[in-house]
Chains A and B, each alone.
Chain A
Amino acid sequence: MIYYVAAISLILIGIYAVLVKKNMIKIVLGLTLIDSGVNILLVSLGYVKDKTAPIFSNPTLTAGDMVDPVPQALVLTAIVIGVAVTALALSIVIRIYDHHKTLNINKIRELKW
Protein backbone atom coordinates (compact mmCIF):
# COMPACT_ATOMS: atom_id res chain seq x y z
CA MET A 1 0.00 0.00 0.00
CA ILE A 2 2.72 2.44 0.96
CA TYR A 3 4.42 1.58 -2.32
CA TYR A 4 1.43 2.89 -4.24
CA VAL A 5 1.54 6.16 -2.35
CA ALA A 6 5.30 6.52 -2.85
CA ALA A 7 5.09 5.69 -6.55
CA ILE A 8 2.21 8.04 -7.26
CA SER A 9 3.89 10.85 -5.30
CA LEU A 10 7.00 10.36 -7.45
CA ILE A 11 4.92 10.52 -10.61
CA LEU A 12 3.18 13.69 -9.45
CA ILE A 13 6.40 15.39 -8.36
CA GLY A 14 7.90 14.51 -11.73
CA ILE A 15 4.95 15.90 -13.67
CA TYR A 16 5.15 19.04 -11.54
CA ALA A 17 8.79 19.47 -12.53
CA VAL A 18 7.95 19.02 -16.20
CA LEU A 19 5.08 21.50 -16.09
CA VAL A 20 6.53 24.23 -13.89
CA LYS A 21 10.31 24.17 -14.01
CA LYS A 22 12.16 26.41 -16.43
CA ASN A 23 15.50 24.68 -16.51
CA MET A 24 15.72 21.97 -19.16
CA ILE A 25 17.92 19.69 -17.06
CA LYS A 26 15.34 19.94 -14.27
CA ILE A 27 12.65 18.95 -16.74
CA VAL A 28 14.61 15.88 -17.82
CA LEU A 29 15.19 15.02 -14.15
CA GLY A 30 11.42 15.23 -13.75
CA LEU A 31 11.07 12.64 -16.51
CA THR A 32 13.39 10.24 -14.70
CA LEU A 33 11.37 10.68 -11.50
CA ILE A 34 8.19 9.81 -13.40
CA ASP A 35 9.91 6.74 -14.81
CA SER A 36 11.00 5.54 -11.36
CA GLY A 37 7.48 6.07 -10.06
CA VAL A 38 5.88 4.04 -12.83
CA ASN A 39 8.43 1.27 -12.37
CA ILE A 40 7.81 1.02 -8.62
CA LEU A 41 4.09 0.90 -9.28
CA LEU A 42 4.44 -1.89 -11.84
CA VAL A 43 6.66 -4.06 -9.66
CA SER A 44 4.45 -3.57 -6.62
CA LEU A 45 1.48 -4.78 -8.65
CA GLY A 46 3.25 -8.11 -9.10
CA TYR A 47 4.19 -8.52 -5.45
CA VAL A 48 2.50 -11.19 -3.37
CA LYS A 49 2.92 -11.18 0.37
CA ASP A 50 5.33 -13.72 1.91
CA LYS A 51 6.54 -15.05 -1.42
CA THR A 52 10.04 -15.08 -2.82
CA ALA A 53 11.73 -13.94 -5.98
CA PRO A 54 10.85 -15.97 -9.08
CA ILE A 55 14.11 -17.89 -9.23
CA PHE A 56 14.35 -21.63 -8.64
CA SER A 57 17.56 -21.28 -6.70
CA ASN A 58 16.98 -24.35 -4.55
CA PRO A 59 14.94 -27.48 -5.27
CA THR A 60 12.50 -27.04 -2.38
CA LEU A 61 10.89 -24.00 -3.99
CA THR A 62 7.67 -24.53 -5.89
CA ALA A 63 5.61 -22.34 -8.18
CA GLY A 64 3.29 -21.42 -5.35
CA ASP A 65 6.06 -19.70 -3.39
CA MET A 66 6.88 -17.02 -5.90
CA VAL A 67 5.76 -13.53 -6.86
CA ASP A 68 4.50 -12.74 -10.35
CA PRO A 69 7.52 -12.49 -12.68
CA VAL A 70 5.77 -10.70 -15.56
CA PRO A 71 5.75 -7.14 -14.13
CA GLN A 72 9.45 -7.56 -13.35
CA ALA A 73 10.18 -8.46 -16.94
CA LEU A 74 8.18 -5.46 -18.13
CA VAL A 75 9.97 -3.11 -15.76
CA LEU A 76 13.33 -4.38 -16.99
CA THR A 77 12.30 -3.21 -20.44
CA ALA A 78 10.86 0.04 -19.14
CA ILE A 79 14.07 0.96 -17.28
CA VAL A 80 16.19 0.50 -20.37
CA ILE A 81 13.77 2.53 -22.48
CA GLY A 82 13.81 5.21 -19.79
CA VAL A 83 17.59 5.57 -19.84
CA ALA A 84 17.59 5.67 -23.63
CA VAL A 85 15.08 8.53 -23.65
CA THR A 86 17.02 10.37 -20.94
CA ALA A 87 20.27 10.13 -22.86
CA LEU A 88 18.66 11.38 -26.05
CA ALA A 89 16.92 14.20 -24.19
CA LEU A 90 20.19 15.34 -22.66
CA SER A 91 21.96 15.38 -25.99
CA ILE A 92 19.15 17.53 -27.38
CA VAL A 93 19.62 19.79 -24.34
CA ILE A 94 23.32 20.10 -25.17
CA ARG A 95 22.42 21.03 -28.75
CA ILE A 96 19.99 23.71 -27.60
CA TYR A 97 22.56 25.05 -25.15
CA ASP A 98 25.08 25.38 -27.96
CA HIS A 99 22.69 27.60 -29.88
CA HIS A 100 21.31 29.72 -27.05
CA LYS A 101 23.89 29.54 -24.26
CA THR A 102 21.07 29.12 -21.79
CA LEU A 103 19.00 26.30 -20.34
CA ASN A 104 16.07 28.48 -19.36
CA ILE A 105 13.08 27.74 -21.56
CA ASN A 106 11.62 31.19 -20.96
CA LYS A 107 14.54 32.66 -22.84
CA ILE A 108 14.02 30.29 -25.73
CA ARG A 109 11.06 31.53 -27.68
CA GLU A 110 9.89 28.45 -29.52
CA LEU A 111 9.66 26.24 -26.49
CA LYS A 112 6.88 28.14 -24.74
CA TRP A 113 3.57 26.39 -24.72
Chain B
Amino acid sequence: MDILLIILTVILIAGALNTVRSKDLVAAVISGSVVSLIASIYFYLLQAPDVALTEAAIGVGLSTIIFMITIRRTGRMEE
Protein backbone atom coordinates (compact mmCIF):
# COMPACT_ATOMS: atom_id res chain seq x y z
CA MET B 1 0.00 0.00 0.00
CA ASP B 2 2.74 2.43 0.97
CA ILE B 3 4.73 1.62 -2.14
CA LEU B 4 1.71 2.34 -4.31
CA LEU B 5 1.28 5.64 -2.55
CA ILE B 6 4.89 6.61 -3.09
CA ILE B 7 4.73 5.69 -6.78
CA LEU B 8 1.58 7.74 -7.16
CA THR B 9 3.16 10.72 -5.44
CA VAL B 10 6.23 10.53 -7.65
CA ILE B 11 4.03 10.48 -10.75
CA LEU B 12 1.97 13.34 -9.34
CA ILE B 13 4.96 15.59 -8.75
CA ALA B 14 6.58 14.61 -12.06
CA GLY B 15 3.31 15.41 -13.82
CA ALA B 16 3.07 18.77 -12.10
CA LEU B 17 6.66 19.62 -13.01
CA ASN B 18 6.06 18.59 -16.59
CA THR B 19 2.95 20.78 -16.69
CA VAL B 20 5.11 23.74 -15.80
CA ARG B 21 8.14 22.81 -17.90
CA SER B 22 6.78 21.52 -21.19
CA LYS B 23 6.92 23.92 -24.14
CA ASP B 24 4.11 22.07 -25.83
CA LEU B 25 0.87 23.26 -24.26
CA VAL B 26 -1.05 20.13 -25.22
CA ALA B 27 1.51 18.01 -23.38
CA ALA B 28 1.26 20.39 -20.45
CA VAL B 29 -2.51 20.07 -20.30
CA ILE B 30 -2.30 16.27 -20.52
CA SER B 31 0.19 16.25 -17.64
CA GLY B 32 -2.19 18.48 -15.75
CA SER B 33 -4.99 15.99 -16.25
CA VAL B 34 -2.69 13.21 -15.01
CA VAL B 35 -2.22 15.27 -11.85
CA SER B 36 -6.00 15.54 -11.48
CA LEU B 37 -6.37 11.82 -12.08
CA ILE B 38 -3.92 11.01 -9.34
CA ALA B 39 -5.58 13.53 -7.07
CA SER B 40 -8.78 11.64 -7.73
CA ILE B 41 -7.11 8.33 -6.77
CA TYR B 42 -5.82 10.03 -3.63
CA PHE B 43 -9.36 11.04 -2.75
CA TYR B 44 -10.48 7.47 -3.19
CA LEU B 45 -7.68 6.24 -0.93
CA LEU B 46 -8.59 8.91 1.62
CA GLN B 47 -12.12 7.46 1.79
CA ALA B 48 -13.74 10.29 -0.08
CA PRO B 49 -15.58 8.63 -2.99
CA ASP B 50 -17.81 11.64 -3.56
CA VAL B 51 -14.86 13.92 -4.02
CA ALA B 52 -13.05 11.35 -6.15
CA LEU B 53 -16.02 11.15 -8.50
CA THR B 54 -16.27 14.93 -8.75
CA GLU B 55 -12.56 15.36 -9.38
CA ALA B 56 -12.67 12.63 -12.04
CA ALA B 57 -15.64 14.15 -13.84
CA ILE B 58 -14.70 17.81 -13.51
CA GLY B 59 -10.94 17.98 -12.97
CA VAL B 60 -9.88 15.21 -15.32
CA GLY B 61 -12.61 15.48 -17.92
CA LEU B 62 -14.17 18.86 -18.19
CA SER B 63 -11.37 21.27 -17.41
CA THR B 64 -8.99 19.37 -19.71
CA ILE B 65 -11.48 19.81 -22.53
CA ILE B 66 -11.85 23.52 -21.84
CA PHE B 67 -8.07 23.91 -21.94
CA MET B 68 -7.87 21.97 -25.18
CA ILE B 69 -10.49 24.16 -26.81
CA THR B 70 -8.61 27.27 -25.73
CA ILE B 71 -5.35 25.90 -27.09
CA ARG B 72 -7.02 25.07 -30.37
CA ARG B 73 -8.30 28.59 -30.53
CA THR B 74 -4.98 30.23 -29.66
CA GLY B 75 -1.60 28.61 -30.19
CA ARG B 76 -0.16 25.24 -29.34
CA MET B 77 3.42 26.19 -28.63
CA GLU B 78 4.61 28.34 -25.79
CA GLU B 79 6.58 31.31 -27.08
Contacts and interface: CB of A to CB of B under 8 A. Distances in A.
Interface residues of A, number: 50
B32 A33 contact: yes
A23 B28 CA distance: 12
Q: Which DSSP category, helix, strand, loop or mixed, fits chain B's interface?
A: helix
B74 A93 contact: yes
B67 A79 contact: no
Given A29-B29, A76-B51, A102-B79, A94 B73 contact: yes
Interface string A82-93: 110011001001
Contact of B70 (A6, A40, A94, A104): A94
Contact of A33 (B9, B16, B42, B62): B16
Given A16-B20, A17-B19, A25-B74, A79 B49 contact: no
Interface of B: 5-6, 9, 12-13, 16-17, 19-20, 25, 28-29, 32, 35-36, 39, 42-43, 46-51, 54-55, 58-59, 62-63, 66-67, 70-71, 73-75, 78-79
12 contacts: A2-B9, A6-B9, A21-B20, A25-B70, A39-B39, A47-B47, A53-B49, A67-B47, A83-B62, A90-B67, A90-B70, A103-B78
Given A10-B12, A83-B59, A87-B66, 19 more contacts: A10-B13, A13-B16, A21-B20, A28-B67, A29-B67, A32-B32, A33-B20, A36-B55, A36-B59, A40-B43, A43-B46, A43-B51, A53-B47, A53-B50, A67-B47, A67-B48, A76-B50, A79-B54, A94-B73
